[in-house]
A and B are shown apart, each in its own frame.
Chain A
Amino acid sequence: MKKYKNFIFIIILIIFVVYLRAGEERMENIEELEIAVGIGYSVKEDVGGGIKYMLPINSVVYQENGVNVSTVRTGTASTIALTRGERQRKSDRKFFLGTERLYIIDEGIGRFGVTNTIDTLFRNPMVNDDGFCVICKGKSEEYLKYKIPGYDTPVDYITGMIRNAPSYNFFQKNYRIKDVYLMVGSEGRSLALPYIELNEKGVQITGMAIFNKDKLAAILDIEDSKTMNILRSDRGKGMLTIQGNERDFISYYAKCKRKVKCNKEGDKYKFIIDLKFNGDVVNNVMYKKLSSKVEVKEKFEKDMEKKIEARCYEFIDKMKSQHKADCLELGRIAVAKYGRETGVDWDDVISNSDIKVNVKVKVEKVGRGEY
């Protein structure tokens, strides 16, 4: 018996492994799978007055010869989960999640409320949490179907855009789904995502979409977006210009740091936002002798500080009166100081609070010389 011990052991092992593998779904070869790269979320009004979810999914079949086929399939159903079944019926290949890099959410869904969408994504552990999330004008299907020569799928292009956006316009690096979960779910935080548009020249980021809890509150143009990004985030990079008339201007490319202090007086909250800009002058025909005379440099710094402050206050007023949402995430700072889950509606509180902005501008380099 002892001699055969190993033999019996191996037999048992084989039987065991076969048992485990039996009856399980076969895993497919990669050429037979459609690799989903981008998912769009749209709603449309249904005949009966309800709404239907349309989820176009852009998938790529990677072939050995390098010719990759990109297709868009849309599933339409009354809930997001049901769209999966509907879509699979239209496809000849098995559908594969987990590789998607981009989630395009319609403006329409934004107005309706993004909770369902976010929840479906959150629940599924296969979802790629690092995918980028954007809000689009019109229907997401158009973006996924848009052909860009030289690119397998427009998803590559759009994700590149969002990924590289932080080098200008003070955009942030936190527009991924995993950041969206945090922005929507946490107390004192609010959601803000890039807004893209499709015109005859192509796809372009045209601003930011800001949310009040889970519903779209407003769409900011690029100038307002810059201001909001400066006030909202701890760090950012971008360009600011003072322009006198068409022949008089100066452009300043800077990194920005933000610190917020919060105080409570009675029922009213006071916020002090300190912004520090540190950067280079890249284009200057307005301030003569900026690189050689200290007084000119200091005058520019003061002028830029005033301009930025004016811009910030203008935006804050708009935010308080028009949008009535805490899009600067000041609530987060207040919560950290004064306690959580106290039942306070932070959007309301911030709209009625006192917000002061202090700006400091420093010029580091001025290029090789002055022209």
Chain B
Amino acid sequence: MNDRKGLITANELTCLLIGILIDINITMTPNSVVAISKQDGWISMALGAVYPLYVALIAIYVSRKFPNDNILVLSKRYFGSFIGNVLNFLFFISFFSYFPPAYFNATLILRTYIIPFMSPFKVYLVITLIGAYTAYKGLKVLARIGIISFFLLIVIMLVSLAILFYGSILNVMPIFGVGAKDIIYGSKNTIYDYALFEWIFLLYPFINDKNKIKDSAFKAIAFCCFVYTWVVFIAIYYLGIDMIKKTIWGFFSATESIRVDVITSFRYVFVFIWVLIALKSISYSYYICIDILRNINKNLNKKLNSIFVFIIMGSIVIFITKVYYPNRLVKDEIVNFTTKASTIYNLFFITLIAVIIIIKKDDKCEKI
């Protein structure tokens, strides 16, 4: 867990942020957003970027004031050790609530499309080992993985351009036919996809050039917004909203339409890439959760260096996933609730910190 050099470049920060936002769940985004917004879902998707934008603005402000202190430190400082830790722990819970669904989604896609014969538990096990080990290696490694994932995403996007040949613009029309009210209402379904941008609050102390935080944040949001909007657009363009409703992973079904003479099916190429992206997300989740815990209690620092903590954490996650998210319907209900709760709490938390900073603006920068 020790970062020897500790600092990451601006590009790496961008890729880390992109990495936390985009995970394998992107294959399901068309489905969630088309339910209300129908053929204008892609507009709703673009509008949803307003949420991470707000987070970014707050983060930029806070980081300008305290470029070396992450939000957990600040909360402890302003609210005292006890309340600060409570707030931090709730922050941890809100991140943690995204962890089991990530497991579940990744496993489900893998098992549906390529390895139906493996039991979910075995898949969890493999994911845990790989994810935990990667997170153990530290932030620099995660950053490099983030860069690789970034390029993999670009490959997927470029290849998906071919879908333009197969669909029809008619499917996306009439544009704005759904009505502004429904479009805006529909963007609330995009929260799950744009969530966890709050990680920036833990990352900005590590950047080597503090002036680049703003650029990184905006680049990350712009890229993710573009990718998400494009994914929803191309899925509607090819499948049409009626078909998207019948599929579970809309974007995935859309990419299956690409036919190249040499490659019999793009499906396996894509699943391979998605697996890598899923593993990246899992390892990020591991890192974040343990990082927050480490910040809450300094004493845990020494113990947390050992890999046993990962195993414990892994077991907890697997246990929860197995017991509480046995199938998709239950998972959807739980996720609906936890997403809303997390988002509200996170927004509350970061706004609170920002407000406190403004009020107590004569405080000097303290060293930890």
Q: Which residues of A contact B (CB under 8 A)?
A: 16, 19-20, 24-25, 122, 125, 129-130, 178, 181-182, 185-187, 189, 332-333, 335-341
Contacts and interface: CB of A to CB of B under 8 A. Distances in A.
A25 B117 contact: yes
Contacts of B39: 340
B126 A20 contact: yes
Contact of A337 (B117, B125, B174): B174
Interface residues of B, number: 27
Given A178-B256, A186-B171, 8 more contacts: A24-B118, A129-B256, A181-B243, A182-B239, A186-B243, A187-B242, A339-B174, A340-B177
A166 to B, nearest CB: 15
B108 to A, nearest CB: 11
Contact of A130 (B177, B242, B246, B259): B259
Interface in B295-313: none
Contact of A20 (B122, B242, B257, B265): B122
Nearest to A181: B243
A170 B70 CA distance: 66
B173 interface: yes
Contacts of A182: 239-240, 243
Nearest to A24: B117
Given A181-B243, A187-B242, A338 B174 contact: yes
Contacts of A125: 112-113
B280 interface: no
Contacts of B239: 182
B16 interface: no
A337 B169 CA distance: 11
Interface of B: 38-39, 112-113, 117-118, 122, 125-126, 129, 168-171, 173-174, 177, 239-243, 246, 256-257, 259, 265
A142 to B, nearest CB: 29
Nearest to A19: B122
16 contacts: A20-B118, A25-B117, A130-B259, A181-B243, A182-B239, A182-B240, A185-B240, A186-B242, A187-B240, A333-B170, A335-B170, A336-B173, A337-B174, A339-B174, A340-B177, A340-B241
A206 B126 CA distance: 54
Given A25-B117, A125-B112, A185 B174 contact: no
Contacts of B242: 185-187
* The 5 nearest A-B residue pairs measured at CB: A336-B173, A336-B170, A186-B240, A186-B242, A339-B177
A336 B174 contact: yes
A344 to B, nearest CB: 14
Nearest to A13: B129
Contact of B38 (A130, A178, A341): A341
Nearest to A329: B170
A339 B175 CA distance: 9
Contacts of B170: 332-333, 335-336
Contacts of A189: 240
A310 B240 CA distance: 34
